[in-house]
Amino acid sequence: MPQLLLELFSEEIPARMQAQAAKDLERMAREHLAAAGFLPEALKTFAGPRRLTLVAEGLPLAQADRQEELKGPRVGAPPQALEGFLRKTGLSQDQLVERDGVYMAFIDKKGRPTAEIVAEMVEAIVRGFPWPKSMTWGTKKLRWVRPLKRILCVLDREVVPFAIEGIPSGDVTEGHRFMGDGQPFVAKDFDEYAAGLEAHFVVLDVEERKARILEGCKTLCFARHLELVEDQGLLDEVAGLAEWPTPVLGDMDPAFLDLPPEVIRTSMRTHQKYFAVRKAGEAGLAPHFITIANIQAADGGAVIAAGNAKVLSSRLSDARFFWDEDVKVGFEPWLDKLNGVTFHAKLGTMAQRVGRITDLAGQIAHIIGADLTKATEAGRLAKADLTSQMVGEFPELQGVMGGYYARVFGLNGEVADAIRDHYKPQGPSDAVPTAPVSVAVALADKLDTLVGFFAIDEKPTGSKDPFALRRAALGVIRIILENELRISLKAPLRQSGAFLYDRQGFHDRTDGFKREEPLVTVDGSPQRASSQRIEAVAVDLIAFLADRLKVVLKDQGKRHDLVDAVFALGDDDLARIVARVEALDGFLKTDDGKNLLAGYKRASNILKAEEKKGPLPTGEMQAPTADSAAEVGLYNALRLLAKPLKDALDAEDFTGAMTQLAELRGPVDAYLDGVFVNEPEHRDNRLRTLAAVRDAMGQVADFGLIAG
């Protein structure tokens, strides 16, 4: 069947926009084709520095003829209604069909040529393309990311004729801007197109460009006994900058290697898009770099390497200047400058935030057994490098530079490491801090962020999370779980809230800081509003962390309803919660677990039904008075269960607790199958027995929240 080939050729498309542009082109094309009744056998898009390309296989040359059914007025409706329907359909009354007392019109619609539909589709895509930023040029009637130069549009090897603001469609495109003969070439289908681009020094597929870059870099390194410092983000970017990517190895002045390696790599990456390299088998950087040229130079890239080396030397000279100036200053002047740096209009200055982090780091250090003095010192200095010259130039080095400067200024190594690592983890692949002092400061930083923004009602909504609160919450969860910390989260959350509300005069969710906090009446007496608000924020954040924990456990194959069932107990120790969830997950995969859950739900439903009639009987269950083996069996099982279940839970042996609960399966099944609960003479005690089953299982989790 026919093939559709579309290329939108323009000036350079920013690399950061290309991947999403390919997705948007595919989405929009699929929507338009589906609306026309087309379902291509295959559809693929490509994005590169100067072109967006789409190829769709298996399209018909025309829509199928179809019959459109229109419902008209009821038979016997006023004549005006019928006349209007006839005008709308272009039919006469004798051409209408009566169905269930209603006039129906059946209109034959001849299928349109696919070329017409494609022409309309391309214009709609071009005019409605969702570029993050776009521009106008020439007549200013068309917007595109950069000036649109050509449109190649071919269906079944024939040009689809149309024009958009003076840009005609055709079957001609261009290759590399500088390499080759510089002449446009004709492409009638995708095979000709891809081969023509390759012949004119353009690699169409971004994944192939990435593979060529990596292979070329590793080949250069192998020849010089070097290793590439791989950087996926940089690889993604440079693959969008070059149509014919050619790695070139250059040299830099070895004198710059006394700068921190992060400074060298960041200077290379941020300003020049270079890859760093190291000597094979060694950790430190080597005095070389790899740049990705967009041409295959006749001299093997010698001139390119020399020119880039000069530029890099200038960049690293600037970095050395920043370093030299910073080490002359020290932390205290930087801390003073934080008074003039706003963290958030409603949450005060960065200096105020540092005060909160310092106090909270001390509290957390006490809880987890970290050195209090070192934790508070690291908390006090953690944000100081924000006003250094190096971080001013390279914001991504915040924390990292603070750690280096701390060592230069003679601070304790644990303090320096805590300053360096307090932003960690910054993503799912980033390691968490493990040293106790570092853990205390990292948790304090993230909890202060969460408490502050929840206090001013700046919570994540849908896909929007401008303050990266989900990332902060996941960081808290990962730090706690991966370090196996035993910590009740409500305590540091409340303490963080107290530092915000009570020490700094913050109290209002919309206005932020005020001089005086209003009083509220609680139980007839005036109290500060802060205590209520602190508790409200803590409760909100526990729920938020529970949602994030569900994401973590879901990625591990755990069910979210199990997290709900365990959180319902009011526990806020994440390590203990996860242990319960894992034990519960294993238990519910057994026959005993599945049947006991079913029994729980039957018992719970009986109790709920009786609660609707009136209050349930209170008090402890009593020994059965009826001659019922099932009733006696469950009574004895519950009595025998009480102590070993409590012992297992006290020892946090949740697997053992599940084993104890499994002993209830048989007695519960027999009871529910053989005992009439609402027998008047025995109703109260039998309801107490069912409540005892619910309460016993409720010590492990709220089984009512578990699906099944």
CATH number at residue 608: 1.10.730.10
| Token duo for residue 522 | 């609680």
Q: pLDDT tens digits, residue range 137-187?
A: 988 889 999 999 999 999 999 999 999 999 999 999 999 999 988 899 999
Strand 167-170 with 148-155, pairing? parallel
Q: Strand, helix or coil at 437?
A: helix
Any domain includes 577: no
Distance of CA 204 to the CA centre of its chain: 29
Q: At 93, which amino acid appears? A: Q
Tell me which DSSP letter residue 1 carries.
-
The answer to the question of residue 273 being in a domain is yes
Note whether 159 and 232 are same-domain residues.
no
Q: Domain check: are 386 and 497 in the same one?
A: yes
Query: Residue 504: is its pLDDT beyond 80?
Result: no
- Residue 526: pLDDT above 50? no
| The length of the chain, given as a count of residues | 708
Q: How confident is the model at residue 514 (pLDDT cuts 50, 70, 90)?
A: very low
Report the distance separating Cα 248 and Cα 273, nearest Å. 12
Rounded Cα–Cα distance for residues 422 and 440 (Å): 9
CB 183 within 8 A of CB 199: no
- Whether 517 has a pLDDT exceeding 60, the answer reads no
Helix (H) or strand (E) holding 70, with range, is: strand 66-74
582 in any annotated domain: no
Residue 433 has pLDDT above 90, yes or no: yes
Q: Which of 25, 59, 31, 62 is nearest to 44 (CA)?
A: 25
Residue 161 in domain: yes
Average pLDDT on 225-249 reads 96
The whole-angstrom separation of Cα 259 and Cα 256 is 6
Could you tell me the two tokens for 334?
């930087």
In a domain, 97, yes or no: yes
> Do 296 and 314 fall within a single domain?
yes
Average pLDDT estimate for 503-530: 49
Shared domain check, 541 and 632: no
Can you tell me whether residue 186 is helix, strand or coil? strand
Distance separating alpha carbons of residues 50 and 178, to the nearest angstrom: 13
Query: Among residues 150, 175, 195, which one ends one of the domains?
Result: 195
Domain C-terminal end among 79, 109, 139 = 109
Total domains in the chain come to 5
Instruction: Give the 3-state secondary structure of residue 675.
Output: coil
Task: Tell me, yes or no, whether 627 and 543 share the same domain.
Answer: no
Q: Say how far apart CA 113 and CA 63 lie, in whole Å.
A: 6
Closest of 617, 621, 611, 619 to residue 641, by C-alpha: 621
Verify that 605 and 679 share a domain, yes or no: yes
Task: Round to whole Å and give the CA distance between 87 and 107.
Answer: 13
Residues 252 and 312 in one domain: yes
Asked if 571 contacts 577 with a C-beta cutoff of 8 angstroms, the reply is yes
In the chain, the amino acid numbered 169 is: S
- 381 & 519 share domain: yes
Tell me whether strands 148-155 and 158-159 are parallel, antiparallel or unpaired: antiparallel
Using CA atoms, how far apart are residues 379 and 415, in angstroms rounded to an integer?
A: 9
Share of the chain above pLDDT 90, in %: 70
568 belongs to a structural domain: no
pLDDT tens readout for residues 447-480: 999 999 999 999 998 889 999 999 999 999 999 9
Alpha-carbon gap, residue 650 to 656, rounded angstroms: 11
Helix (H, G, I), strand (E, B) or coil at 620: coil
Whether residue 27 is contained in a domain is answered as yes
Query: Which structural domain range is residue 643 located in?
Result: 587-705
Q: Judge if 608 and 509 occupy the same domain.
A: no
Does residue 628 have a pLDDT over 80? yes
Q: Any idea what the CATH number is for the domain that residue 168 is in?
A: 3.30.70
Confidence bin at 216 (pLDDT 50/70/90): very high
